Amino acid sequence: MKISKTHQRFADRLNDQTALEYPEHFLGPNWKNVLNFWFYLDTLSEEDFRLNYVRYWALDADSRVSAINNAWEAAEATICKYYAYEAWRADSTYQLGTVYASGHATSELIGSHNLEAFTFLPLFLNP
């Protein structure tokens, strides 16, 4: 199985390499979507990430906080949501807004079966 950079960081943060072989045990029912998103992130350029940074901070602060809370509540049943989010925070090569957006988009995907709308995932569409 091919592994994305974020998936590897996720397993490293968990200190459990079985997360690479059995991601469904760690990422919940939407694990395939999470892995596909992480592969997609590997394809983005520095300019794409810069645009995501700008888009993240352009969100209204109240809307951004509300969307963060919604994403985390939706992913609540997945114990490893924090580590999936932290997999992006562990990568210091990107600006913090991009790291936040990637982590929150991951949380949205983990809990997508409990969400009515996405806020952070669309930031990565049509970079």
How high is the pLDDT of residue 102? 86
Residues 6+ apart with CB under 8 A from 69: none
How high is the pLDDT of residue 101? 86
* Residue 8, pLDDT above cutoff 60: yes
Q: Within 13 Å of residue 54, how many CA atoms lie on the same side as its CB? A: 7
pTM of the model: 0.87
Angular region, 125: left φ>0, alpha ψ -120 to 50, beta rest: beta
Q: What are the tens digits of pLDDT across the range 28-41?
A: 899 999 999 999 99
Diameter of the chain by CA atoms?
A: 40
The backbone torsions φ and ψ at residue 13, rounded to the nearest 5 degrees and listed phi first, read -65, -35
How high is the pLDDT of residue 81? 61
Q: What are the tens digits of pLDDT across the range 78-98?
A: 656 666 666 655 555 556 667
